[in-house]
Amino acid sequence: MRKIQQLFAFLMLAFSTNLLAAETSAFGELVGSISRSVDGFFNDYTGWFVGLIFYSVPVGEANFPIIVGWLLLAATIFTVYFGFIQFRRAGLSIDIVRGKFTNPNAKEEGEVSHFQALTTALSGTVGLGNIAGVGAALAIGGPGATFWMILCGLLGMASKFCECTLGVKYRTVLPSGVVSGGPMYYLSRGLEERGLPSLGKFLAIGFALMCILGSFGGGNMFQANQAHAMLTYAFDVPSEYGVITGLVLAALVFSVIVGGMPSIASVTEKVVPWMALLYVGMSVIVILANFGQIGAAISAIFEGAFTGAGVAGGFIGALIQGLKRATFSNEAGVGSAAIAHSAVKTKEPVTEGLVSLLEPFIDTVIICTMTALVITIAGLNTMPFNGEGLTGVTLTAASFTATAGIFKYFLAVAVILFAFSTMISWSYYGLKAWTYLFGEGSKVELAFKILFCFFVVVGATIQFGAVIDFSDAAIFAMSIFNILGLYFLMPVVKKELKSFIARVASGEIKRYDDKAESNSSEKA
């Protein structure tokens, strides 16, 4: 952590002492030219792919993306199939995270604890989508989008349970102790067990390709780009200085990911709780400072959810925006989180499935809802909702600063932390997809890590639209391969779940809390 602090100090020093004086308008023009060329290339040659993945059908006055329906349908099916597990076993999930079922004296395969796996996966989902994405959803769908966002987040918990249980069950543990897991492995091996080896291989390769592309774009370049944009917004850092922001972020990212999953988990278990507390704390202050508006805000959310008054598309518009934001934010069904959870120290796959179902609750039900309440309260206090025509991160930032101007700077810190944590998690996702396709080995891994950090610099330097559209499409294309395989494999998960619950009930799987430990000591 000391190295990270030193690098952040260097960033501030670079800006304060104007080390970038050598940059000229000519350089800015060169960057702009490169940006337009890259963006034009992606627009000309990948536009068809983006249009295919995000194909929409008209529903009332709004357009409904088929990919959102694909993710929502899967979440609903898994919720019913597993008996509403996210509600019935929430207490058990929390106990597992707290280590109540972890034998402190046992050495189990894996690289990280349940808590570290959870924070690593959360760092990949809790990010700019919670700030900018919710702002965009409410700007278009109004406060009512919040209700549907929460509902979709709750259903998505079952999708996470299913994919992360399979991630542990079919993972590979190398002789060095390094773990490789995720959809690439459970799609190929799981479907081979069920007599569908060709389909499994096809789905696994398709998923891995999309995962690599998504890691370079939405999990990397977009994060660096928005981090620099927030520095420009909050601290008036010239936009042309993006190359320095990129270099510093790349150095930070490389210093973490070069150590592999244990290093990534060590950072995320420290960064994620603090960045979440910072953001939620700011939200709570805004909400309490406007205590008299809480009732009106909640009423606006419920009224807008079923009437959609005053927003584009009416009721359907509010519903679609809520569903889009939840599915785009928590990535339930995309399969990315299963890669991180596969590295956990456990011999019981279901334990990590239960841990993972907490992610959509934290990401969507808590953090996204906090953002929505802040925006709704600001709209009630200062203007007709979104009367200033703001959207995305600008709407969210304006909503916070309406209560206290200093929140602009705290929000900038939160954005940078969110971007950084997302990048290190997605570097791991992309790496595991990379090694699945090209083989394990230190040289293969180092090549990916250097390439990933190169794209950090590119992302902070250039401005683009089509590049991000393509990478977003790649991330959600992952869900097509992943969910299709999950439908074939969900009976495997159900069998694992029944076995685990039965052994917990019988006492075969023991609890290791203070009371149990004291009783065992007395017997000894």
Q: What is the DSSP code (8-state) at residue 112? A: B
- Structural tokens at position 155: 């259903």
User: Is the model's pLDDT at 522 over the cut of 50?
Assistant: no
Please compute the mean of the pLDDT values over residues 55-64 and round it to a whole number: 80
Residue-level pLDDT at 230? 80
Phi-psi region of 389 (alpha: psi -120 to 50; beta: other; left: phi over 0): left
Listed ranges 40-49, 146-155, 305-314; the one with the highest mean pLDDT: 146-155
* Residue 248: pLDDT band with limits 50, 70, 90: very high
Angle at alpha carbon of residue 344, lines to 174 and 162, rounded to 5°: 110
Q: Which two tokens stand for residue 264?
A: 């990534």
66-98 core/surface letters (b: 16 or more CB in 10 A; e: else): ebbbbbbebbebbbebbeebbeebeebbebbbe
pLDDT at 34: 66
CA 36 – CA 19 distance, rounded (Å): 27
Q: Can you state the percent helix, strand and coil of the chain, rounding each to 5?
A: 80, 5, 20
Helices (H), 331-390: 336-341, 349-356, 358-360, 369-382
**CA 341/CA 353 separation, integer angstroms:** 8
Q: What is the pLDDT of residues 436-464, one digit of tens each?
A: 999 888 899 999 999 999 988 888 887 66
| Residue bearing tokens 């891995």 | 208
pLDDT band at 350 (very low <50, low <70, confident <90, very high): very high
Mean pLDDT across 430-441:
92
Give the residue ranges of DSSP H helices in 65-109. 66-81, 85-88, 90-97
Between CA 333 and CA 50, with CA 144 as vertex, the angle to 5 degrees is: 40
pLDDT tens string 351-410: 999 999 998 898 888 888 888 888 888 775 554 445 455 556 667 777 888 888 888 888
Share of the chain above pLDDT 90, in %: 28
Q: Name the pLDDT band for 101 (thresholds 50, 70, 90).
A: confident
